[in-house]
Chain A
Amino acid sequence: MAGKESDIKVRIQNVRKTYEGRSGEVIALNGVNLNIHNNEFVTVVGPSGCGKSTLLNIMAGLLSPTSGKVLCNGKEVIGTGAERGVVFQQYALFPWLTVYKNVLFPLQMKKIPQEEADKIAMKYLKMVDLEQFKDNYPKELSGGMKQRVAIARAYAANPEILLMDEPFGALDAQTRTQLQQDLLETWESEQKTCFFITHDVDEAIILGQRVVIMSARPGRIKEIIDIDIPYPRNQATKLTNRYVALKNQIWALVYKEFLEQKK
């Protein structure tokens, strides 16, 4: 990867997070170190309960680490910030607002003048191809459409870093493939630093420039694999030898962690 020191957007430094569980202290994360470059697309895979969501919440500023720290643009992350956007698995759309008003929400929070805000909101609704649904309420949309609104909303806030917590996890296979494709196109047209959590190895490889593999409890980074497949990627990419080799390699690592955790 572009490994210039000055190019680093996010530094995760020795992050540790513990919870008070029923049977004593639970270590969710331990000694996590990772540098993410500007406009890089990093995906994270690991067995459930490996603390990947915890890590994302710490990066978002929704949780604070027990020790260690996360630096964003060289500044320590304390609380949420406009430069970091989040897309949640459960969409988290405001059900009482129409699609349009949902996308408008972050712009209103930033006190952007109505006329300009409207332009920005419409631009991103167009990007996710939902302009004709702008006056619908979330309950009238399918899961895939809801997630597209959530992505448009996250983009409208114009963060430098997009944190995505298994955003396509609740969708059926076809919709998921479609949204992966859309997300790649969006990322290529309007580059942002992306940190994308998934449990799906295929998803991790097709999207990411680097795949971070996390180990079971206590959550640590086990390995980082460079995905040296050029963009644009699509479904045909999954048939190439390089892809299959990478998938085998990553799958073996993830599966080992899964077995490890079962023990």
Chain B
Amino acid sequence: MKKLNKEAEKWHNRGWLALSVLIGIGFWTILSFIPRTSRVFPNIIEVSKQIAVMIKRGVFFKDIQSSLISIFAGYALGFIFALPIAILMAWYRPVRKVIEPWIQFVRNIPPLAYVPLVVIGAGVGRKPQIIVITLATFLTMSIIIYSGILNIDDTLIKAAKVLGASDKDIFLRVLAPASLPFILTAIRLGASVALTTLVAAESTGAFAGLGMRIRSLNNNFETKPMLLYIITIGVIGLIIEKIIKFLERKLTGWQEKRVI
């Protein structure tokens, strides 16, 4: 009975999603016919045709590939730095007191502002892109993981202690699983930061990439492929989020309530 309801609800939700997509495309089509907006919103058929055009120019897959490499390299490095530093900040007051203000400070600066400095320091090419994405994802993920660890229920640690857990048991069997939801949230929000930072990261001296291509198309006012590229970034973001949400459901389905 319950399973049937779930199935029905799934289709129900899919129906709404389809409706939402249709309305969005309809709205887009209307904009493509209004003279004032038609230039910025070429219609969906025109934009779809650009896939073939950009493939023929030999850049479409190269750009996607280049951007994905930068995103994943920067994002992975950001996570590798964020996890231990978040744990250190949660456990050692001096570390927290010294590092946290700086993280909060730099977090509020848009990456676009410091990209030129990074390029001057690291040169053009892939390196500055990865540095910028690493920095931005590190800032977001470390704060999320650290505040998550701080909020772990103290009674769980006490309970483990009275049940005979050693310090190692407490770390591996209590703190690690208890922080997993925050780590996954950090990974999800980090992915969206990586994507938003991408365009800034590719703004100077990139040889390929979705963000770089949008800027270069802009020089010739080629709005059709520009819109295609913008949508492509959105689709990549959506796919990454879906994958991470799937992992969250698999790994932290035990949670009382969903966070963020």
Which residues from chain A sit less than 8 Å from chain B, CB to CB? 60-62, 80, 82, 84-86, 88, 90, 92-97, 105-106, 109-110, 137-139, 153, 157
CB of A139 within 8 A of CB of B255, answer yes
Question: What residues of A have a CB within 8 angstroms of the CB of B158 in the complex?
Answer: 62, 86, 88, 92
Knowing A94-B177, A96-B254 are in contact, say whether A88-B159 is a contact too (CB < 8 A): yes
State the main secondary structure of chain B at its contact with A.
helix
C-alpha spacing A106/B169, complex, angstroms: 11
Knowing A88-B155, A94-B174, A137-B254 are in contact, say whether A105-B180 is a contact too (CB < 8 A): no
Number of chain B residues close to chain A: CB under 8 A: 23
Q: In angstroms, how far is the closest chain B Cβ from the Cβ of A121?
A: 13
Which residues from chain B sit less than 8 Å from chain A, CB to CB? 153, 155-156, 158-166, 169, 173-174, 177-178, 180, 252-256
B169 nearest CB neighbor, chain A only: A109
B156 nearest CB neighbor, chain A only: A92
C-alpha spacing A94/B178, complex, angstroms: 8
Most chain B C-beta atoms within 10 Å of own C-beta, residue among A61, A62, A96, A109: A96
CB of B180 within 8 A of CB of A96, answer yes
Number of A-B pairs, beta carbon distance below 8 Å: 61
Knowing A88-B155, A90-B155 are in contact, say whether A95-B256 is a contact too (CB < 8 A): yes
CB of A86 within 8 A of CB of B255, answer no
Knowing A95-B254, A95-B255 are in contact, say whether A62-B180 is a contact too (CB < 8 A): no
State the main secondary structure of chain A at its contact with B.
loop
Question: What residues of A have a CB within 8 angstroms of the CB of B153 in the complex?
Answer: 90, 92
CB of B162 within 8 A of CB of A62, answer yes
C-alpha spacing A106/B163, complex, angstroms: 5
Question: What residues of B have a CB within 8 angstroms of the CB of A157 in the complex?
Answer: 163-164
Question: What residues of A have a CB within 8 angstroms of the CB of B174 in the complex?
Answer: 94
C-alpha spacing A210/B89, complex, angstroms: 47
CB of A92 within 8 A of CB of B159, answer yes
Question: What residues of A have a CB within 8 angstroms of the CB of B173 in the complex?
Answer: 94, 105
Beyond the given A80-B161, A105-B173, A109-B165, please list 7 additional residue pairs across the A-B interface where CB-CB is below 8 A. Answer: A62-B161, A80-B162, A82-B164, A92-B153, A95-B254, A109-B169, A137-B254
